[in-house]
Amino acid sequence: MKPFVRRSHLLVPVLDREKVETSWTHNADSVILDLTGIESEDDRSRARSLVKESIRHASRGGAHVFVLPNKALARADIEASVCPGLKGIVYPGAETSADIEEADSILSELETGRGIASGVLQIIALIDSGTGVWNIREIVTASPRVCSSGLDELNLCRNMGIIPYADFDPFVYAKGRIVVETRAAKVQPIGISHPYGVLPQFDDADEIYQLALRGKNLGFAGAICPDPSWVVQCNTAFAPPADRLEFFRETRRLFAEGVARGTAAVPYPGTTMMIDVPVDENARVNLELWELCAAREAEKAKAIEKQESTMA
């Protein structure tokens, strides 16, 4: 899978039409249209009938649009969703490779039937059980469609009988395991730092930013945003820090000079830091990610510009 930038995944209930229609205005890298939590059969049918139109709304700002189906009704929900413009699905409560293989098979069938290039639809695997955490390796390697994986912390609490509590993170091990196994499979881990995974808040921009940044520094590449207030903070926190770019460039320059002189252990002037291969590589990786983030921003800006000129 080509490298991609999805720092923010804005979650929007399909039946909340106002939120759907404005979803493209928040500058999210991705929008997830939520088909879960719908009680009545009538509402479910209505939601399914609205998905394709919702995908058009959500993608107007250049966001990658995903649909979150009900696990028990996955086939019907996915059938209602797959159309050109959809980036993929979020698979809720993945527990084994068989779950992902089944979703893969449904997507393959629908790609063929609906004129979509084979294999392009992606899967974000959400984990909400101890079984899923334990089987994370087989889940993220079950299909080349799996692009990201993360914990559904609230449902994981329910399934494990945990009462969410701000002072204590019950998922240190689970998050560590998700990050390590997901990255080892070259898939992006998504998540935010405690306590927002279990007790999300929406009115303190700085706290949102700090917890997203802490999430990044635990190894996550982006987060699911239950509210638009998280989007900008996540876009900033999950990108390399702008104030470190010059440092990264200078690191690369000094190291290249050192190597030319015959040393690969180069002191960084004015600090106690030594630059060696991993430090130089870290600078390279950050500069590359910065470029990718800039390209993603340009892509979204172009889409918004196009929308605005169409609307004018």
Partner 1 sequence: MPINNPRFVDRSWTRDCDYLNFDLEDSVPQSQKDYARSQVRHAIVQGQKGAAEINIRINCAYPDADVPAAVWPGVKQINFPKAETGAQIRHLDALITELERVRGIRSGTVRIGATVETTLGVANSYEIASASPRIDAFGGGTGYDMSMDMGIEMFVGFDQFVYNRGEGELIALALGLEREGGVFMSDTTGNVGNAELSIKRAEASRKAGLRTGGGLHPNVVAPQNLGLTPTVNEVEDAHRVLSFFAELDQRGETEGDMDGRIVDKYEAARAEELIEWASLCAHRDAEKSAAREQTAAELDEQN
Which residues contribute to the site for partner 1 (CB under 8 A)? Answer: 137, 172-173, 175-177, 179-181, 183-184, 214, 216-219, 221, 241, 244, 258-259, 262-265, 272-274, 276-279, 281-282, 285, 289
**Per the structure block, which two tokens stand in for 146?**
């799996």
Residue 237 Cβ vs partner 1, minimum distance, rounded to whole Å = 11
Residue 66 Cβ vs partner 1, minimum distance, rounded to whole Å = 21
Separation CA 22–CA 285 (nearest Å): 34
Residue 213 Cβ vs partner 1, minimum distance, rounded to whole Å = 8
Nearer to partner 1, 98 or 277 (CB): 277
**Per the structure block, which two tokens stand in for 54?**
């919702």
Nearer to partner 1, 276 or 305 (CB): 276
**Per the structure block, which two tokens stand in for 71?**
């696990």
Nearer to partner 1, 26 or 177 (CB): 177
Report yes or no: 229 and 185 within 8 Å, Cβ to Cβ.
no
Nearer to partner 1, 32 or 275 (CB): 275
**Spatial CA neighbour of 226 closest among 5, 34, 87:** 34
Nearer to partner 1, 157 or 221 (CB): 221
Report yes or no: 199 and 164 within 8 Å, Cβ to Cβ.
yes
Can you spell out the DSSP letters for 149-216?
EEE-HHHHHHHHTPPP-TT--TTHHHHHHHHHHHHHTT-EEE---TTTTTS---S-HHHHHHHHHHHH
